[in-house]
Amino acid sequence: KPGENPQINPKLKEQHLEFTKGMVYTRFPPEPNGYLHIGHVKAIMIDFGYAKFHGGRTYLRFDDTNPEAEEGRFFQSILETVRWLGFEPWKITYSSDNFDQLYEWAVELTRRGKAYVCTCSAEKMKEDRGMGKGHPVPCEHRDRPVEESLREFERMKNGEYPEQGAALRMKMDLTSGNPYMWDMVAYRVKLAPHHRTGDKWKIYPTYDFTHCLCDSIENISHSLCTVEFIPARESYEWLCDALEVYKARQYEFARLNLQGTFLSKRKIAKLVTKKLVKDWDDPRLYTIIALRRRGIPPGALLSFVSELGVTTSESVTEIKRFESSIRSYLEESAPRLMMVLNPVKLIIENVPDDYRVPVQVPLHPKVPSMGTVETSFTKEVYIDADDFREVDSPDYFRLAPGKSVGLFKAPYPVTCTSYTKDPVTGQVTEIRCRLEDGGNVKKAKAYIQWVNVPESIKVEEVRYFKPLFKSDPPPADFESDVDPDSLEVYKNAVIEPAFYELAKKAILDARKESEERTKKAQADSAPTNPNEHKPLEGSEAA
């Protein structure tokens, strides 16, 4: 915008425009240290959506500067998830593609007297940076001669320092009120092999050094990130200016937070390693693979995030709101089917053994076009143990001795005449009823689910998920707050054959749709994508 940045270097601007032709360039820059979560859906929609809206381009940039935490399966899954959501990167890049350039820039920065090698301990550095005291003080290395820092940096690079033995720090502004200006670390020693560069490097650039420079290299026009990076904008610009390279404009938006849970990959990784959840796709988590496993289609996630809108004010979204958004997205398209979780046999006494009435059960109460499934109403049916009470009460409308209830879509209600209990466990094992086909009971007050006994299919296992944590929000010591009853397993549930067939079809359809979506996303981006994607080296798929 005119007047917005008077210091803009006209030459850099010209070079940038030559590359971009004034087009919007954004990037989605995940760190490949875990699977994406629902918060990333928002970031993906903003990064890809903003560029798409303006006819621009979006990179998927793996921010792979932390060799220890990165695994091939994460790279692969991140790309798959972006595609599953319907977006196709213009190019797939890696921060590590730029390790040589970044290193040269680090040397240049040092040469310019704007970086120095510091060999203080981590504690000393923390203390000097004013943590707890409120103001930073320079350490003894800050004013060492440039030549000395260059030499020490070379030694760092050659692996002559152990991890945490030395760091290259940017010589920023210790008088600033912004901690991001207090001589941030640019490079540190890490001896772990890197996923893509192997053991070529013994030093790795930090996020603060890497991010703005990769944005610069890729000619990003709008560097979109979450609001906690507002104070980091100053150091982002400082570094680009110090090296006199093109600098993108950073814009911030509020993170998506969900009540009663957390999204941080590092914390989820902890739950997984400690086996407090089954894996990254445990349905109690809010990773995208978990939500997908729960049967939530990509459109429902996109619609939920759209409803929340984009602002800069931090907020925590209620899980109820998330669930009701998904439910309303699925409302018109999800078939209703009957399942009995905890079956008890109900025997109708006043009908012959071969009693069998065909029943049409609509798949949706309000969408007749969805059709019906056929089943039979028979002498013996299963109902849920929870739909029967031994002691009746006025505010209870389901089955109890002497009481009537409707069986969903069955021709007549039934009235309970007697029941049998297991003498040891006290559990109700059989309920006997009278079919009210004589007109005594005209209309039932409530209808319950049922499955006929002869055709019932036993489900090997039904898993019922409740909130993972006991507290809301989960405490810092979240591991001990995991609710062991948050996963309920039912081993005796029954369904009817039509349920089985439909579920099978739904799974196959979802698979097909997801494949088509990926194809479409790829086709959509094809004309603007002259360069082949680089293979995901070292990843499982490769």
Name the site residues for ligand ATP (rule: CB under 6 A): 29-31, 39-40, 42-43, 225-226, 255-256, 263-266
How far is 165 from 393, CA to CA, in rounded Å? 74
- Contact between 282 and Mg ion (CB under 5 A)? no
Task: Return the H-helix or E-strand segment holding 16.
Answer: helix 10-20
Q: Which residue is nearest to ligand ATP (CB)?
A: 39
Burial class (CB in 10 A: 0-12, 13-18, 19+), 143: exposed
- Contact between 31 and Mg ion (CB under 5 A)? yes
Q: Kindly state the tokens that stand for 208.
A: 């603060």
In the chain, how many H helices and how many E strands?
Answer: 13, 25
How far is 278 from 288, CA to CA, in rounded Å? 15
Neighbours of 318 (CB within 10 A): 13
Smallest gap from residue 33 Cβ to Mg ion (A): 7
Residue 285 interacting partner from Mg ion, ligand ATP, none (CB closer than 5 to 8 Å by kind): none
Given the residues 27, 157, 265, 517, the one annotated as active site: 265
Residue with Cβ nearer ligand ATP (73 or 266): 266
Contact between 286 and 277 under an 8 Å Cβ cutoff? The reply is no
Residue with Cβ nearer ligand ATP (266 or 519): 266
Q: Is 57 helix (H, G, I), strand (E, B) or coil?
A: strand
Given the residues 52, 142, 190, 255, the one annotated as active site: 255
Smallest gap from residue 91 Cβ to ligand ATP (A): 17
Burial class (CB in 10 A: 0-12, 13-18, 19+), 179: middle
- Residue 169 catalytic? no
Contact between 536 and 98 under an 8 Å Cβ cutoff? The reply is no
The 419-448 site mask, x for binding Mg ion (CB under 5 A), equals ------------------------------
- Residue 517 catalytic? no
Query: Segment near Mg ion (CB under 5 A), from 29-37, 64-72, 283-291, 382-390?
Result: 29-37
Q: What is the largest CA-CA distance in the chain?
A: 103
Residue 39 interacting partner from ligand ATP, Mg ion, none (CB closer than 5 to 8 Å by kind): ligand ATP
Residue with Cβ nearer ligand ATP (30 or 283): 30
Residue 67 interacting partner from Mg ion, ligand ATP, none (CB closer than 5 to 8 Å by kind): none
Q: Kindly state the tokens that stand for 102.
A: 């970044």
Residue with Cβ nearer ligand ATP (169 or 265): 265
For the chain, report the end-to-end CA distance as a whole number of angstroms.
44
Residue with Cβ nearer ligand ATP (161 or 209): 209
Q: Is 231 helix (H, G, I), strand (E, B) or coil?
A: coil
Residue with Cβ nearer ligand ATP (43 or 381): 43
Q: Which residue is nearest to Mg ion (CB)?
A: 31
Q: Kindly state the tokens that stand for 70.
A: 């990165």
- Residue 275 catalytic? no
Burial class (CB in 10 A: 0-12, 13-18, 19+), 509: exposed
- Contact between 80 and Mg ion (CB under 5 A)? no
Smallest gap from residue 229 Cβ to ligand ATP (A): 7
Residues annotated as catalytic are 31, 255, 265
Q: Which residues bind Mg ion (CB under 5 A)?
A: 31
